[in-house]
Structure 1
């Protein structure tokens, strides 16, 4: 190493999603040794357990949705704790899955809207974490379905999603793979669309740690990002993904058949191939884009989680460690973009580029702006 590491053994937490693969690859290929690090992986049963262990220092960093560091940093439902996002670990790879009985009449958002209107009861949907389900909420609202009023929305651990669908407790869910593929493999549901059809190349999972960790161990944090950049670069070769699928199957306890095809080809439906991305051409996938974090804040405003406009730009600069990422990219021979905002176009044709976030947040016809903000978040 060219600098002193403040800490050399790191414990990384994750939940059983296909895009925990960069962590698995980094460990299996021994990529950390080159940077003087030793990694151990720790699967967590629920987001609440992961949260508590991360805050207690029992985990040094973790693969999470954006919603976890954001809700903790903002103090949504609890005491605020300074958090840091070190890098994006993956883009795309989420899905909307519906039960077989609904799939017979629902083919897209418009037919789902008609099904919601004609149903004799409120249809029941689930997600993994309320503050991370914003892409799902966005898609429903773009088809005039209010996610908090027109349907029942539940928070369900990922491993419980397919069983709940099979029992008839849920009509569908928005979640990361392999939980959509597993429902199809078991014949209990069908993937309606992939999340990349809602927000192309959206951030799926990020590498999260506490603000205190970055302050105490900045060199270690840089080295960890460099290790995972190398893992992400390795994974953007299709043959490497096929090689790594059995490793992932072993780690998350899901058959390879529910992993491999979508890891390589995306959702696998005609005209709907949106495979998960880990690196990109020069590492731009891994950039902790500040506009990505700001988009989530706009949706928290939209759905009544924040009563007043937050400091969108200030929070993005506090949480997303762009300077640290760029330094780590140099170590890993990757290229970090010079800008920290990017432009995205959503399924309804609306563009987001990080400009005028409050105007964007309050411009939607379907919203929950009048709701009481800061309601306690349900964690599972």
Structure 2
């Protein structure tokens, strides 16, 4: 076959397939079309940073299971030690993209998480799957929930108790602040908060540097297994099916490499669908992620919560209806504008933003639904949601639908 014999554009392939009753629109052929000719990825090796957390699974498995090769690229996962490191390497160009905190990307765009940068969210990597852990010392004092913690904090000098999250504008900071405030504890006036990288949470709690932390798995399960803490609440109890990590990058990288951005999103989206396809795929992933190259932990810390099997370290066990989800028929990974806007409302609530932002314009600029649609088309069998706003009810009964963010941000009794 001549070298250039398969250089039909995507448009010509679709037109030809339609003329023949769709007989050309086979998954393998469609993927080949997206990786050839005018649609060929500009950059074929893509460095994608990740932090050792269970929700890096779509990026890691896209590389290890060969989903990347289907779209003409090679994903090179790069292990990082902290979210600050991910931020710095994304900005410098050492990383092309990353498994990254939703709020970190929005914070960079706004210049409150570092020097202002033009950022892009290609897709959401997961819903749910984080938690707030409290120390065994608090449990021994009879504190087993937020109400008990409130009484303890109220009887102490401000700042006596220290809590950790993972990044100032990150998701874990927002879950921690929201949960504390919902229990009538002001996260800035009543307690002290510090930043600790995820893999260092358990050790820091063990040596007494804090009495609580909010982080992703497997570090909450590890705290229980090591008997140094217990799960006070899961993040899905704060907001069922909340957005968590995203596939983030710089907007200029997308503009310079539109085909590579599409191919990367397609590969990770394909891997996310595989992850949600069966419990066996989750178990296989847990075995892989436990290895030294990835999370460097025990499979027993990973698999149960990946499968929705929870225990809290207080004797309670349950099968979580809102366990970690990676795909959910595409609804998980769709870059919902209302998800990004929610983080903006919390930045405003806690004084990280001094002035009201243009909520809708920011979300529309950062969340690349156009790239997601092209990637979904390349993967095949995925129907994009018809809207960019969704409705959610959080733990305190507040309804979030993204339609009046300024009013929502101002509505909280506890704020800064």
TM-score (norm 1): 0.94
SS of residue in 1 equivalent to 2:310: coil
What residue ranges of structure 2 are gaps of 5+ in the alignment?
A: 1-31, 34-38
1:111 has 2:148 as partner: yes
- Which residue is equivalent to 1:371? none
1:290-323 per-residue CA deviation (whole Å, 9 max, x = no partner) reads: 1000000000000001111000000000100012
Q: Is the 8 A contact 2:309 2:318 kept in 1?
A: no
- Which residue is equivalent to 1:187? 227
- Which residue is equivalent to 2:270? 230
* Post-superposition offset of 1:114: 1.1
* Post-superposition offset of 1:79: 2.5
Point out the structure with max Rg over C-alpha: 2
For residue 72 of structure 2, the aligned residue among 21, 24, 36 is 36
- In 1, distance between residues paired with 2:45 and 2:260? 9
- Which residue is equivalent to 1:244? 285
- In 2, distance between residues paired with 1:340 and 1:96? 29
1:122 has 2:165 as partner: no
1:245-280 per-residue CA deviation (whole Å, 9 max, x = no partner) reads: 111011111111111111112533434624210011
C-alpha spacing 1:186/1:45, structure 2 compared with 1 (3 Å) = same
- Which structure 1 residue ranges, 4+ long, deviate > 4 Å from structure 2? none
- Which residue is equivalent to 2:301? 258
- Between stretches 1-10 and 206-215, larger displacement belongs to 1-10
Q: Is the 8 A contact 1:96 1:175 kept in 2?
A: yes
* Mapping 1:21-60, distance limit 5 Å: 21-60=57-96
Q: Is the 8 A contact 1:193 1:267 kept in 2?
A: no
* Post-superposition offset of 1:118: 2.4
- In 1, distance between residues paired with 2:369 and 2:222? 36
Q: Is the 8 A contact 1:124 1:172 kept in 2?
A: yes
SS of residue in 2 equivalent to 1:285: coil
* Post-superposition offset of 1:175: 0.7
- In 2, distance between residues paired with 1:266 and 1:140? 25
RMSD of aligned C-alpha atoms? 1.3
SS of residue in 1 equivalent to 2:126: strand
C-alpha spacing 1:77/1:224, structure 2 compared with 1 (3 Å) = closer
Q: Is the 8 A contact 2:104 2:113 kept in 1?
A: no
For residue 88 of structure 1, the aligned residue among 124, 135, 155 is 124
Q: Is the 8 A contact 1:11 1:39 kept in 2?
A: yes
- In 1, distance between residues paired with 2:375 and 2:250? 18
- In 2, distance between residues paired with 1:200 and 1:61? 27
1:339 has 2:387 as partner: yes
1:312-357 per-residue CA deviation (whole Å, 9 max, x = no partner) reads: 0000001000121112111112221010110010001110000110
- In 2, distance between residues paired with 1:314 and 1:32? 32
* Post-superposition offset of 1:208: 0.2
* Post-superposition offset of 1:185: 0.9
For residue 74 of structure 1, the aligned residue among 90, 110, 116 is 110
* Post-superposition offset of 1:24: 1.4
Q: Is the 8 A contact 1:32 1:39 kept in 2?
A: yes
- In 2, distance between residues paired with 1:46 and 1:271? 31
1:104-141 per-residue CA deviation (whole Å, 9 max, x = no partner) reads: 32222211211211246621100001211112211111
* Mapping 1:177-326, distance limit 5 Å: 177-236=217-276, 237-250=278-291, 251-268=294-311, 269-271=316-318, 273=320, 274-280=322-328, 282-326=329-373
- In 2, distance between residues paired with 1:142 and 1:190? 19
Which structure exhibits the higher relative contact order, with contacts defined as CA atoms closer than 8 Å and separated by 6 or more residues? Answer: 1
- Which residue is equivalent to 1:159? 199
- In 2, distance between residues paired with 1:267 and 1:153? 27
SS of residue in 2 equivalent to 1:63: strand
What residue ranges of structure 1 are gaps of 5+ in the alignment?
A: 369-380
- In 1, distance between residues paired with 2:167 and 2:353? 17
How many residue pairs are counted as aligned between the two chains? 367
TM-score (norm 2): 0.86
